[in-house]
Amino acid sequence: MDFYYTTEEEKFRDELRQWLVDNLPEGWIEGKREIPQDNEGQSKFFRDWQRKLFDGGWSGISWPEEYGGRGATLIEEVIYEQEMARVQAPPQINVIGVAMVGPTLLQIGTEEQRERYVNKILNGEEIWCQGYSEPNSGSDLAALQTSAVKKGDKWIINGQKIWTSMAHLADRCFLLARTENTGKKHEGITAFLVDMHQEGVETRPIRSIDDQHIFNEVFLNDAVAYEADIVGEVNKGWKVSLTLLSHERTGVARQIFQLNQVFDELVEMASTLKKNGRPLIEDPIVRQNIGRLRAKSKGLLLNYYRNLTNSIRNGYPGPEGSMDKLGASELGQEIYSYALSLQGSVNTLWKENAAVTAEWQYEYLRSRAYTIEGGTSEIQRNIIAERILGLPKDIKY
């Protein structure tokens, strides 16, 4: 495994670093990372950032140049994620559009769909959400019950989606609905591109344990989609859904890079906080635990690079991505949990205080979702067992 970058790759990194210095919100690099809390303010903040990325050529960098991307290599994508994690850049509000919907349309969408949606995904003019999970079909996605019935030139959609990230800000939704009941749950599913602003779509907020509003319930009451809104073929949406999910890998990469940075912040906190007049980092038990977390974070990173090497050789990502996702989500929970244990009694303080920032509390609560979102840890273990280790599949009753 070669850990060195070529001259051109280092030039790419330097260009990105300079652009971030010139274009991040004022005070961001210095730690002043203030994001509006109201929906209108958040929408403007994130849309402005998305537009700035687009204007600078840093949105959808791996997309073909004719569709607004840079045609970046997989290694350049990794460098991009490293640098964005390093400065803790604001997230792209259109991350679902840029990381998942756009690449899916480029791969299997019609030319009309590419012309209609792709540019607006990159520049943030249209924000996307993903209509997959339902109250009774989360990890078992194929058990979805939202229905779409054809009437004339329209498809009438009824049902409910839940845990829909950014639905309250979204303009369109990449939605799965059942269009035929064959008795086999993976059949009869169709993927639609649905307008979120029509009368038949209602969005209700879900405020999570960290008091943030990212998730939503979406109710579809005679919502309308058209033939031109179908991705792939009618009743063959399961294959389309797997195509979209395969493009999630860059999000996992950034989480791994972020965790290695969070570990450094954990060490800094342990060096600052004191017990009996001595920095916590001098306690042998603390040093032992930090060393253990360091070994895990470094091992996770090296394993990701190994899987990345396989992707470069094969030309596509394999099931090894489940190893990265599983390791990153569970290690993230472990790091934030240990960080709060080091804080002692001040870990109950929700607001900023003299000892530590409240960011640790927010992220600890947020980390509860790591092992659920993007496929639960149980699902990841099944994939690893069956597709990597070659173990027998679960018995279906």
Which sequence positions are flagged as catalytic?
A: 248
Note whether 246 and 71 are within 8 A (CB).
no
Q: How far apart are CA 231 and CA 106, in angstroms?
A: 11
* Percentages (nearest 5) of helix, strand, coil residues in the chain: 50, 15, 35
Task: Specify the length of the chain in residues.
Answer: 397
Residue 138 CB: number of other CB atoms within 10 A?
18
Token digits for 67?
A: 């569709």
Phi–psi pair at 44, nearest 5 degrees: -65, -45
Q: Burial letters for 318-355: b for 16+ Cβ neighbours within 10 Å, e otherwise? A: eebbbbbbbbbbbbbbbbbebbbebbeeeeeeeeeeee
Cα of first residue to Cα of last residue in the chain, in angstroms, is: 44
List residues bridging with 231 in a β-sheet.
191
Pairing mode, strands 172-178 and 128-131: parallel
Number of Cβ atoms within 10 Å of the Cβ of 379: 18
Distance CA 127, CA 120 (A): 8
Token pair for 377: 């840890």
Sign of CA dihedral 109, 113, 118, 120: negative
Listed in sequence order, the residues at least 6 apart from 17 whose beta carbon sits closer than 8 Å to its beta carbon are 83
Say how far apart CA 104 and CA 229 lie, in whole Å: 14
Q: Which residues contact 297 (CB under 8 A, 6 or more apart)?
A: 259, 260, 263, 331, 335
